[in-house]
Chain A
């Protein structure tokens, strides 16, 4: 195995690709959580996005419809969560769990007729540049448009939350729904919008898996990525840029683990596969140890039910 620069470039490109679903889902969930809503249904929304994207691709033979459709279906399924938690004031944790269980079941039900169908080739951009420039080529070029979008998203999210009025409103609603409401902000409406946005991003994350990353439909194909995305939001202490860094670290572990298996190290495959999960726990411990630091960044009303007496 050669350790030339180009190989390292390809490796970095692979790490970037494997971090895309995490960035998308975690960035979406971050906005939801910033508004004070804890949606544990990320895994369920992702898998629904994955199957609807793939199914639409097969049925319409159009990748644009597939991608947009996956976002729409993520949005629709997150609407269930919104209706329950915002209008019927249900517990966020339990509702999110129900959403995940429901989503996994539903996706398998829809996906029954799509098992074993080969995926379609997704157009990659700047392929000629990828091949002509050593090292930097495979890092920066030859990716899908969704990857470029994903890598821009944390910066956009950061700008949105910090510099725009809407971002400020979302943060106000998350930190103090009562005072936001007294200022005339419609808390429920803001939270609904954030939930739907999170759902759409999770749907897109799922579609990236089933259309680009491993272009086919496999039952349960998200394989816990939704939960890792949730952990990433805590890891990032609700800061979008740190979501990007965290996702790259996790993507790195995933790719490293695959390569270690391929090289044939005398480490059990299962231990390597468990690495991302064990790492998540270790990272959570390190991050959460300082309770003041966590409290400083956590949206104050996260997971709490807001009810306005009429």
Chain B
């Protein structure tokens, strides 16, 4: 006999344990999929989750991928906590990259310590501006932010494509769809010789700290949380809903913009068509997996970054497409959302009592 009972209050330990359960279920589900595809599931999972981080280079790559994921997810947590569904972070990332990249090209062959900070700030600004479009349309025209922010992803992608093919393409580049390589002064400093890990990780860590400060220690953070729990209460308390919506979108756009500019000044070093392997979408999963909590998001970004690396390794060793990573990412979110059921309901396994027989 199984009996389901509604819980009266949410257990905090279960709240942070269900993501772990979700990860294990994903490994199990992934094993089954690999088995169906005709691989030895244990071997395949090893290629996916252990081989990529078994050396120093792999660990550095893990951090290189986690850096933008964590940054975007932190920004998204502001939106999601207040029930604003910004799912266009990918577009904000790309637009931030475009603005930052434009400034970097402007400072081509220009030395000076101020070059990189200006580029980074303009990237954040670009992302912020782009995120304000769905925010303003939502607040003043009542438009669905999910659809608008998503449509803008396609617009940003096409704009980037136009720029790197046309006006910004490298004059000495034999018509390749890419800009010049940025000057040394416009590049993120590399932390260790021979590895790709760059100073962007500090931007991410600072942002994590700041967002913790905002979310848990300021009035704005309080407003965000209350609006997320109950819009009616927020209105009753007299919070200015419109301003808050615009602010959370600005924060999340700025974070995505920073991630974009971090990518182009960090590992990429120029603008081309594919500056992001869908980090903006994957970060949505990171935000949920991390329970919209700054510390949780750090761990979640490392785990999801591993699915990227795993997909690359599996592509080489098992000849499966790199999209396999997305299968795992989708599964993590499915299992995570599903296991939330345990938060709200108790499942009791009851043996049949003698007098019932």
Contacts and interface: CB of A to CB of B under 8 A. Distances in A.
Interface stretch (A20-28, A95-103, A156-164, A178-186): A95-103
B142 A98 contact: no
* Residue from the set B146, B155, B334 with the largest chain A CB neighbour count within 10 Å: B334
B147 A231 contact: yes
Contact of B142 (A227, A280, A291): A291
A103 B330 contact: yes
Interface in A94-119: 94-95, 97-109, 111-112
A52 to B, nearest CB: 15
A127 interface: no
A271 interface: yes
B143 A285 contact: yes
A40 interface: yes
Contact of B151 (A104, A231, A269): A231
A168 interface: no
Nearest to B333: A98
A280 B320 CA distance: 36
B185 interface: no
A224 B158 CA distance: 13
Given A101-B333, A274-B154, A289-B142, A88 B341 contact: yes
A68 interface: no
Interface string A12-44: 000000000000000000000000000010000
A274 B151 CA distance: 9
A84 B324 contact: no
A269 B158 CA distance: 9
Q: Which 6 A-B pairs have the closest CB atoms?
A: A102-B330, A105-B326, A108-B323, A98-B333, A105-B327, A270-B162
B151 A277 contact: yes
17 contacts: A84-B337, A89-B341, A101-B285, A101-B330, A102-B330, A105-B326, A105-B329, A108-B324, A109-B37, A109-B323, A112-B320, A224-B154, A227-B147, A227-B151, A278-B151, A288-B144, A291-B142
Contacts of B155: 274, 277-278
A105 to B, nearest CB: 3
Contacts of A294: 142
A98 B285 CA distance: 8
Contact of B337 (A98, A104, A108, A277): A98
B141 interface: yes
A211 interface: no
A93 interface: yes
Contact of A281 (B85, B137, B331, B341): B137
> Which secondary structure characterizes the binding site on chain B?
helix
A9 to B, nearest CB: 31
Nearest to A295: B142
A95 B334 contact: yes
Interface in B301-328: 320-321, 323-328
Interface string B318-357: 0011011111111101100110110010000000000000
A166 interface: no
Nearest to B166: A268
A90 B327 contact: no
Interface string B135-151: 00100011110111011
A173 interface: no
A104 B87 contact: no
A104 B278 CA distance: 12
Nearest to B165: A270
B137 A285 contact: yes
B147 A234 contact: yes
A102 B147 CA distance: 19
Nearest to A294: B142
A88 B338 contact: yes
Contact of A101 (B143, B162, B281): B281
B49 interface: no
Contacts of B143: 281, 284-285, 288
Given A84-B338, A289-B141, A230 B147 contact: yes
Contacts of A84: 334, 337-338
